Structure 1
Amino acid sequence: MDDLWLSNPTLAYRDWQAREAAGADRRPFSARSIVQHQAMFEHFRRHLVARGATVATFGTDDIEAFWQTPHARTYSQATRMRYAKLLDRLCRHLVFAGVRQDNPAAGLLASVRWPEEEPTPQYLDATTDQQLQAYLQHPAADLASLRSRAIVATFLGAGITAAEARSARMVDLYPDAVPPYLFVPAHGPRDARTVHLADFAVPLLRDWLARRKSLPIDGDLLFSLLSDGRPITDMSFGRLVRTALEAIGASDVEMSPRTLRNTFCRRQLLAGRSHEDVSQMLGLTSHRTCDRIAATIAESQSKNED
């Protein structure tokens, strides 16, 4: 039996992903997929800890309870399918490694299917958007709270991705420019771009930047661990967004940075900006995302007319 799966399952999963894990075609997962899978596994592992279970002992009842958690209830059909595949792949490996005797996730793939149509993008409606903006203006209790609110304000007020927030540097933020903006360097297929900051985010980001410059921690990341300057993980970003949304009572939406990015997009479209302009603000080369979110506006307006 591989004792590391019992003593440190997080490390065991990371090591397995790096050395052996692969998709159905036996090709190694991409770096981005590995990060996503590790975050998903860690979320499930924390669920098991809360229920007094381990990777060696959890059963179908633990998986069913996971689907009923507040966070998991907001998962799209595609996200549920990704979890089903991850848990099935994990359990098959644990059986092979002698950590488990059975695979309680074996039936998941038969009960979960990829969506036949693209899921509706998750976003905050205009009222909830305003509520979150107002919540972010409340005085921060401490340094960690100030950083958390600045991070959420950046997702909601600049529409950047988690990866872009993770790599943003102090020199990229210009809260005193006219107008204030965040510079997003080129990465992957996305060109470098300048994103003007929403008014509600400017005071908060100005305060955070001033504090960040004074902190005796390594590196020049705009958002980092306060202890040593290392980048913040996707899982931690998700936790910060979740905390902010729960604080205003928003529980019927996927609590992720992507939801706030979609909300930013929708706000720009509602303000009358073109799909071309908004796509550029998001760093996208096509209008597909804007088209999908614009469809939610048309649907909402149609319901109001009825």
Structure 2
Amino acid sequence: MFDRFLRHLLGHKKTLASFGASDIESFWLADDTSGHGISTRMRYLKLLDRMCRHLVYAGIRHSNPASEMALAGRWPDADPTPLFLPEEADVRLQEYVAAAAMIEDVPALCACAIVALLLATGITAAECQDARSVDLHTEASPPYLHVPARGSRPARTVELPAFALPALTRWQQRRPTLQIEGALLFSMRARGTPVTVATLGNVVRSALLAIKFEAEDLSPRVLRNTYGRRLLLAGVPMEEVAKRMGLTSHRTCERLLLTIDPA
């Protein structure tokens, strides 16, 4: 969270010592944060409030622009309904990435592979940024993605469904010919640096708009929720779904389960 806010400040030529309330407001309008719900915004405000209080105490800042915002903010009374692709939209996106895998344009193929991986595995945007070429095993039986441990999330293995294999296999074949430095599966071309959160957001947004799906949030989070809900619809136990998604609690799965008609 802090890293994302810091990148926002750097992009607007501000520092931790100089940003103000207007910079926090503009942060909510950024492409990769505009879809954040009330609870996520409150977590950001609490983080910024604590940080600014510390900087004021250390003599680095003279004021705390997050203080009044944090006091005025309120935690939501109930969890919002998670956004996901309905079953027919999920199928359309699967067909879209399978067909797009045949394109020759390298950036378009990379974007297609990113969407395929997110939709097929339910990994987070951060996990997608960190994914390495050696983690993807399309030739295995069954094919799978190894997701290394990250924070409180343990390492896990996620099986790859058939719809994602054309795009991922083709990207695996093309990537070695592009002279990209480093071990990352997806990177900013030759530099080998991770793709940015904004880039991932734009890639997912473009794919969703291409299948004519529109919602207030078109971020990778929608694909993660769609993955979890798809497993629940298939009858996979909630505990197993949480494990495959790297969740430390069942709360997200419980919220997704409430979107499914018991009949």
Which TM-score band applies after superposition, normalised by the shorter structure? Answer: 0.7 to 0.9
Counterpart in 1 of 2:42?
Answer: 81
Determine the structure 2 residue equivalent to 1:3.
none
Q: Which residue of structure 1 aligns with residue 82 of structure 2?
A: 121
1:172 alignment partner in structure 2: 135
Deviation at 1:105, TM superposition (A): 7.0
Structure 1 residues 141, 214: CA separation in 2 closer, same or farther (over 3 Å shift)? closer
Counterpart Cα distance in 1 of 2:200 and 2:10: 18
Contact 1:159–1:260 under 8 Å retained in 2:
yes
Instruction: State which of 104, 111, 123 in structure 2 corresponds to 1:148.
Output: 111
Shift, 1:65, TM fit? 8.3
Q: Compared with structure 1, are the counterparts of its residues 38 and 270 closer, same or farther at alpha carbon in structure 2 (3 Å cutoff)?
A: same
Identify which of 200, 214, 221 aligns with 1:237: 200
Secondary structure of the structure 1 residue equivalent to 2:208: helix
The CA deviation string for residues 240-281 of structure 1, in whole angstroms up to 9 with x for no partner, is 222222333333242222221111000011011111222222
Q: Match of 1:295, as an amino acid?
A: L
Say whether the 8 Å CA contact 1:74–1:252 is kept in structure 2: no
Match of 2:150 in 1: 187
CA distance in structure 2 between the aligned counterparts of 1:241 and 1:108, rounded to whole angstroms:
31
Q: Indicate conservation of the 8 Å contact 2:147/2:158, yes or no.
A: yes
The whole-number CA distance in structure 2 between the counterparts of 1:285 and 1:90 is: 26
CA distance in 2, matches of 1:200, 1:162: 20
**Structure 1 residues 141 and 108 mapped into 2: Cα distance closer, same or farther (>3 Å)?**
farther
Deviation at 1:73, TM superposition (A): 6.1
Are 2:186 and 1:246 aligned? Answer: no
Correspondence 1:1-306 to 2 at 5 A: 36-40=1-5, 42=7, 74-82=35-43, 108-109=69-70, 111-136=72-97, 137-138=99-100, 139-140=102-103, 142-297=105-260, 301=261
Answer yes or no: is the 8 Å Cα contact 2:118–2:220 preserved in 1: yes
Equivalenced residues, count = 256
Deviation at 1:221, TM superposition (A): 1.4
Task: State the one-letter code of the partner of 1:39.
Answer: R
CA contact (8 A) 2:48 2:66 kept: yes
Q: Which moved more, 1:84-93 or 1:244-253?
A: 84-93
* Cα deviations by residue, 1:189-235 (Å, 9 ceiling, x for unpaired): 33332211122111100000111122212112111111211122333
Partner letter of residue 208 of structure 1? W
User: 2-side partners of 1:106 and 1:165: how far apart?
Assistant: 34
Secondary structure of the equivalent of 2:152? Answer: coil
Unaligned 5+ segments in structure 2 are none
Alpha-carbon distance in structure 2 between the residues aligned to 1:73 and 1:189: 26
Contact map agreement 2:229 2:256 (CA 8 A) in 1: yes
The percentage of aligned residue pairs carrying the same residue is: 45
Structure 1 gap segments, 5+ residues each: 1-35
CA–CA distance in structure 2, aligned partners of residues 71 and 163 of structure 1: 12
Secondary structure, aligned partner of 2:189: coil
**Alignment RMSD (CA, Å):** 3.5
The CA deviation string for residues 7-64 of structure 1, in whole angstroms up to 9 with x for no partner, is xxxxxxxxxxxxxxxxxxxxxxxxxxxxx23434655887x89xxxx9989986x987
> Which entry has the higher C-alpha Rg, 1 or 2?
1
TM-score (norm: length of structure 1): 0.68
Partner residue in 2 for 1:21: none
Distance across 1 between alignment mates of 2:242 and 2:26: 39
